[in-house]
């Protein structure tokens, strides 16, 4: 399966949900916003939101600072 994540290609057969994708990037404990094919995915649906070949994913995580 080919995903485009933040503009970069990711070839995988082991990632099937948004939650698994976040774990792949070690972001599962971070505050993030995920957009799938132009639509924001509700955080409560990460585990049940499937990914398919050709999906475009944008992940934005927040970094604190001052």
pLDDT at 5 over 90: yes
Q: What's this model's pTM, rounded to 2 decimal places? A: 0.91
Confidence of residue 22 (pLDDT cuts 50, 70, 90): very high
The predicted pLDDT at position 60 comes to 95
Distance CA 42, CA 46 (A): 7
Mean per-residue pLDDT, 36-56:
98
pLDDT score of 66 more than 70: no
């Amino acid at each position: 399966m080919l995903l485009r994540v933040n503009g970069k290609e990711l070839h995988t057969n082991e990632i099937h949900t948004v939650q698994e994708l976040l774990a792949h990037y070690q972001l599962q404990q971070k505050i993030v916003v995920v957009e799938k094919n132009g639509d924001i995915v509700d955080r409560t649906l990460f585990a049940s939101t499937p990914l398919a070949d050709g999906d475009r994913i944008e992940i934005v995580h927040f970094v604190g600072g001052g």
